[in-house]
Structures are given as structure tokens and as C-alpha cells.
Copies of this chain bind each other. A is one copy, B any other.
Amino acid sequence: VGRPTGHGVGYEARRQEIIDQAAQLFSKHGYAATGMVALGDYVGLRKGALYHYVGSKEALLVEIQDRVLQPLLSQAQRIVSLDADPVLRICMLSESLLEIIFSRLDHIWVYEHDYRHLTGDNLRRFIQQRRLFEDFVQRLLTEAIAAGKFRQLDPRLATLQFLNLHNHTYQWLHVGEQRWTPSTLSSEYCQTLLRGFGADGADFSDLTERVNELRDPTAHQGIAAAAG
């Protein structure tokens, strides 16, 4: 994708591999507790060679965060902009979010746990982008309330509940989860939230099918799409 000249053909691929494996290690032991030597061992490179691919340990962290944030934001933007019932779009956002969580559990671990080790501008940018995503969620919820689909909720608190429910999933989801898929889990979460938030008398019973109809055919690529 236009790297600075002076790098061989395999470079970018190897680089992506390294970031991948760093995410695995960081998610398992924590960013602060994972050494560059350990990472080197893990990827099969001596300490010094690692620095051919990554400028610093923090740069690695930044890349991992970006691999989460970029699909998150692009999907959210796409969905929010759709011309459809806000409640429907909330469900789509839920599923999209869970798809990302399922597809790169290790990245999400790092995203949720270790963003505080970012420093300076990296941290500022992270927080700003994270807030951007939350704003997308809040916008949809506000629309649903305004449309009378939901009770008169505090939009901020509704947002936080939406995020709590989804974002905490990484804590118990296993790699290679069999019981649930993004789609089935999202369906459960949405049932809870829509009934929980719904105005008295509102009926969301046909929503699952309508989500299926509108599903983005490229969305299943999740993080991989942005990383490549």
C-alpha cells in the first residue's frame, strides 16, 4: 500500500505477520509484560531483526489498535449512513461489532486492555477515534428514541449499556468459539437491548430476518480487510 521504497517483496507480508503474532502475545501476557526478545523468539527472528519491521514496541501497539479501530469506524459509518429504520441499523451495528470481536479476539484484547500504554499523540488519537465510534452508536440510539421506538432513555446511558454488553464479550469468548457466531450472539444481545429499551407496545419480532437481508457481503472479512 505504498511503503517507503527500499523494501523487498516479502517485507510487507512478513511485517503483517509480525503484528499478528505480536497481538497474540500481547493478548496472552499483556503488552507491558511482553518483551521484544520474547516476541522475537515467537516470530523466529532475533531481537535486532525485529526492528527492521517495526520502529518500536509502541508502534506495534499503534498498528494493532488501528487494525481494530479502522474496520470499526468504517463499518459504523457505513451502517449509520444507511437509509433504514434506526432500530434495524442498531442491530446491524451490533452484528458488525461482534464480527470484528470474533474475527480478531487477540487484537480486541490488546485494544481493550493496553491502550493506556500509548503515549502522547498516539494516545490522543486513540481516544478521539474511540469517541468517534461511540458517537455513531449514540446517534443511532438517539434516533430510535426520537422515533418513539425506544423509551425516553438517557441516550448516553443507553450507549454505555450497548457498549458494556458488546465490548465485554472478549473477556469470556474463546478462540474457535463453537457455541455462538457473531450473528447468533448479536441476535441474543439485540433481543435483550430492544426489549429492554423498547417503548411499551413496540414490536421488533421481525428484525432478525430484516438484518439478514441487509447484511454487508464484504463485512465477514472483518479486520483482515483493513490489515491487507
Contact = CB atoms under 8 A, between A and B. Distances in A.
Interface of A: 6, 29-30, 32-33, 46, 112-114, 116-117, 154, 157, 160-161, 163-169, 171-172, 180, 188-189, 191-198
Contacts of A164: 164-169, 171
A188 B157 contact: yes
B168 A189 contact: no
B46 A6 contact: yes
A166 B157 CA distance: 13
The 9 closest A-B pairs by CB, nearest first: A192-B196, A196-B196, A32-B32, A164-B168, A168-B168, A32-B33, A195-B196, A164-B165, A195-B195
Contacts of A113: 113
A192 B117 contact: no
A199 to B, nearest CB: 11
30 contacts: A6-B46, A29-B116, A30-B30, A30-B116, A30-B117, A32-B32, A32-B33, A112-B171, A154-B188, A157-B188, A160-B169, A160-B172, A161-B189, A163-B172, A164-B164, A164-B165, A164-B169, A165-B165, A165-B168, A167-B168, A168-B168, A191-B196, A192-B196, A192-B197, A193-B196, A194-B196, A195-B195, A195-B196, A195-B197, A196-B196
A182 to B, nearest CB: 14
Nearest to A164: B168
A168 to B, nearest CB: 4
A189 B188 CA distance: 17
Residue from the set A114, A157, A160, A189 with the largest chain B CB neighbour count within 10 Å: A160
B196 A117 contact: no
Contacts of A165: 161, 164-165, 168
A163 B157 contact: no
A112 to B, nearest CB: 8
A46 to B, nearest CB: 7
